[in-house]
């Protein structure tokens, strides 16, 4: 792979990293508004349950995988200079799957009460069940906007345009926040549901339609269920439709097992999970999304050596998730207090959520690495193996969830989430290395182990340091927690940079050098 291509990956990564990071920050603000309105109570549990059926529909149509399944097909035509054919295939897939999705949305809306009883069997309060059903019916149509918007974004990615797709999650989250702020006083948690629908329409459909038009989209009303590329798309996507992915199963298990736990457990697990996903999104999701088009190109060129080189390099940079996870573990209570403790979210809810957060952060590196490793398979148009593997891994993890729930309650569910993720991504990467003859894969494992060993004493020191300054600044208050977090964070960065130079960890030193260069460029302007 040439240097210009590496530069493109870097630029794309920066765009998507900024998008994902801002989206996660706005998402945290969204959770803050939800926490203020509903606290960690049954109303928030019902709101979270309302997402399960729409998420299942989204999964069935593989809307979240449109980029990884559609881009290789579309890109092949672009490489062959057959753009007209590429847009024809785009239209056929859009029309066929869009029509099927509309039928599924209608059916799910009709049978929502029965479906809620299946997905959250532990939910017994009739008022909460009725609320969950009503909000489910409001959120369901948003899945059509996610599907169509996913295709609009996929063609922009294929044309190496990332700016407008990067706005989708930002606008979506702002829509939810607006719904909660402006409709919440009258509709309570239902106001957030209307925000979901509005945000999905504006951010994922309307805005992405405009972006697709800008890069020359040619859409036509055409149905051809015998088209060979439609069959190829179905063949690539089918495993993702029926397979269980790590993130999807985690979202489902939080609601399913949480419905058996005391009221507010689903809310607490969800708040902790969202904090952890900020870290995952900033590193893993951004790098995975940005690198995939280039991985797909290298796979199409049969250049497995460079493909493995890019994959390994990306994973090494992801190792930075480990020390940052340790920092968040140390500041777990302060972070939850700063973000959520206001309105109906009281000190008891802070204690519960922060206790769950430490177990969820154990798996942050696994969730981050999974977003990259699985794209190696997708780039080679192999969706069957990761889908079968993921499904088996999820099924095998169920006893872990059951034991964890019975032995430790919500904390056991949180720990099961992390342990299951670590097991899945470790084995998946090992199988990739064997399949692709990635001889440098062992070096990646060694590097991760090195970072873990360095992070443990760092965490012990920071915990001691936080305890000392916490008594000075009274970390049980908002401002005290903020002061403690800022000071501890600055000490953490100093130790991280010092460790990078001391042990010659280029991933840390390069990150610092790039940050310094950007600051200098900004100052020069």
The whole-number pLDDT of residue 53 equals 93
Q: In this model, does residue 473 exceed pLDDT 60?
A: yes
**How far apart are the C-alpha atoms of 19 and 244, rounded to whole Å?**
26
Q: What does the pLDDT read at residue 1?
A: 42
pLDDT at position 169: 87
Q: Which domain holds residue 68?
A: 42-223
- Rounded to an integer, the average pLDDT of 258-264 is 91
Any domain includes 118: yes
Asked, for residue 88, whether it belongs to a domain, the answer is yes
Best mean pLDDT range from 335-339, 377-381, 498-502: 335-339
Check pLDDT > 90 for residue 514. no
Question: Does residue 275 lie in a domain region?
Answer: no
Q: How far apart are CA 204 and CA 168, in angstroms?
A: 5
Q: What mean pLDDT do residues 45-62 have? A: 85
pLDDT(219) > 90? no
C-alpha separations of 260 from 66, 405, 411 in Å: 34, 9, 13
Q: What is the pLDDT of residues 412-431, one digit of tens each?
A: 999 999 999 999 999 999 99
Dihedral angle over CA of 154, 158, 163, 169, nearest 10: 20
pLDDT at 146: 93
Q: What is the pLDDT of residues 428-463, one digit of tens each?
A: 999 999 888 888 888 889 989 999 999 999 999 999
pLDDT computed for residue 520 by the predictor: 55
Q: Tell me the DSSP string of 21-51.
A: HHHHHHHHHHHHHHHHHHTTSHHHHHHHHTT
484 inside domain: no
The per-residue pLDDT for 11 is 58
Kindly state whether residue 282 falls inside one of the protein's structural domains.
no
Q: Largest Cα–Cα distance of the chain, in whole Å?
A: 71
pLDDT of residue 352: 95
Identity of the highest mean pLDDT range in 197-211, 385-399, 470-484: 197-211
Name the one residue in this structure whose structure tokens are 């996913």. Answer: 150
Does residue 86 have a pLDDT over 60?
yes
Indicate the number of domains in the chain.
1
Question: What average pLDDT does this structure show over 131-153?
Answer: 94
pLDDT at 143: 92
**Is 308 within a domain?**
no
Provide the token pair at 352.
Answer: 């519960």
pLDDT at residue 483, as a whole number = 95
pLDDT for the residue 8: 56
> Is 154 inside any structural domain?
yes
The predicted structure's pLDDT at residue 521: 58
Average pLDDT over residues 328-344: 95
- Tens of pLDDT, residues 379-398: 887 877 887 888 888 889 99
CA distances from 269 to 32, 52, 75, 283, 398 (A): 14, 15, 40, 22, 17
465 vs 165: which has the higher pLDDT: 465
Tell me what pLDDT residue 13 has: 57
| 362-383 per-position pLDDT tens digit | 999 999 998 888 888 888 878 7
pLDDT in the model for residue 2: 47
Question: Of the segments 16-25, 249-258, 350-359, 423-432, which one has the largest average pLDDT value?
Answer: 350-359
Among the ranges given (95-109, 249-263, 301-315), the one the predictor scored with the smallest mean pLDDT: 301-315
H-helix or E-strand spanning residue 14: helix 3-38
Q: What is the pLDDT of residue 512?
A: 64
- pLDDT confidence of residue 181: 92
pLDDT of residue 363: 95
In this prediction the pTM is 0.79
DSSP classification of residue 285 = I
Q: Residue 240: its pLDDT value, please?
A: 67
Across 97-111, b (16+ Cβ under 10 Å) vs e yields: beeebeebbeebbee
> What percent of the chain is modeled with pLDDT above 90?
46
In a domain, 184, yes or no: yes
């Amino acid at each position: 792979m040439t240097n210009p291509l590496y530069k493109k990956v870097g630029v794309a990564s920066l765009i998507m990293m900024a998008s994902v990071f801002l989206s996660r920050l706005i998402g945290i603000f969204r959770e803050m508004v939800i926490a203020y309105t509903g606290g960690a109570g049954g109303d928030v549990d019902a709101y979270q349950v309302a997402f399960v059926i729409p998420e299942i529909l989204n999964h069935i149509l593989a809307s979240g995988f449109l980029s990884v399944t559609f881009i290789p097909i579309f890109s092949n035509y672009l490489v062959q200079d057959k753009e007209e054919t590429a847009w024809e295939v785009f239209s056929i897939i859009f029309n066929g799957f869009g029509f099927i999705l509309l039928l599924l949305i209608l059916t799910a809306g009709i049978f929502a009460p029965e479906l809620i009883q299946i997905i959250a069997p532990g939910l017994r309060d009739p008022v909460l069940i009725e609320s969950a059903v009503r909000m489910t019916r409001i959120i369901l149509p948003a899945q059509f906007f996610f599907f169509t918007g996913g295709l609009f974004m996929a063609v922009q990615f294929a044309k190496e345009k990332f700016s407008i797709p990067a706005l989708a999650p930002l606008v979506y989250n702002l829509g939810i926040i607006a719904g909660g702020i402006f409709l919440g006083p009258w509709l309570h948690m239902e106001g957030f549901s209307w925000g979901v629908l509005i945000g999905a329409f504006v951010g994922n459909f309307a805005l992405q339609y405009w972006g697709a038009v800008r890069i020359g989209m040619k859409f036509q009303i055409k149905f051809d269920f015998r088209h060979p590329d439609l069959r190829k798309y179905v063949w690539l996507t089918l495993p993702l439709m029926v397979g269980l992915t790590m993130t999807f199963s985690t979202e489902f298990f939080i609601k399913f097992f949480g419905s058996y736990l005391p009221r507010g457990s689903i809310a607490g697990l969800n708040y902790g999970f969202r904090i952890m996903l900020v870290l995952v999104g900033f590193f893993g999701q951004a790098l995975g999304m940005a690198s995939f088009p280039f991985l797909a190109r290298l796979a199409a060129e049969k250049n497995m050596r460079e493909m493995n080189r890019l994959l390994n390099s990306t994973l090494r940079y992801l190792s930075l998730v480990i020390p940052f996870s340790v920092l968040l573990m140390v500041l777990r209570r302060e972070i939850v207090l700063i973000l959520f403790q206001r309105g109906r979210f009281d000190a008891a809810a802070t204690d519960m959520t922060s206790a769950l957060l430490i177990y969820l952060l154990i798996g942050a590196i696994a969730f981050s690495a999974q977003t990259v490793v699985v794209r190696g398979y997708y780039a080679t148009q192999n969706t069957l193996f990761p889908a079968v593997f993921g499904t088996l891994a999820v099924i095998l993890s169920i006893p872990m969830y059951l034991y964890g729930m019975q032995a430790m309650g919500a904390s056991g569910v949180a720990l099961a989430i992390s342990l299951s993720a670590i097991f899945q991504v470790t084995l998946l990467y090992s199988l990739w290395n064997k399949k692709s003859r990635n001889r440098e894969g062992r070096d990646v494992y060694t590097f991760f182990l090195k970072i873990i060993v360095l992070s443990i004493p760092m965490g012990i020191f920071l915990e001691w340091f936080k305890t000392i300054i916490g008594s000075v600044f009274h970390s049980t208050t908002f401002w005290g927690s903020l002061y403690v977090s800022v000071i501890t964070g600055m000490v953490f960065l100093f130790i991280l940079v010092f460790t990078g130079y001391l042990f010659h960890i280029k991933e840390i030193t390069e990150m610092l050098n790039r940050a310094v260069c950007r600051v200098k460029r900004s100052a020069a302007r």
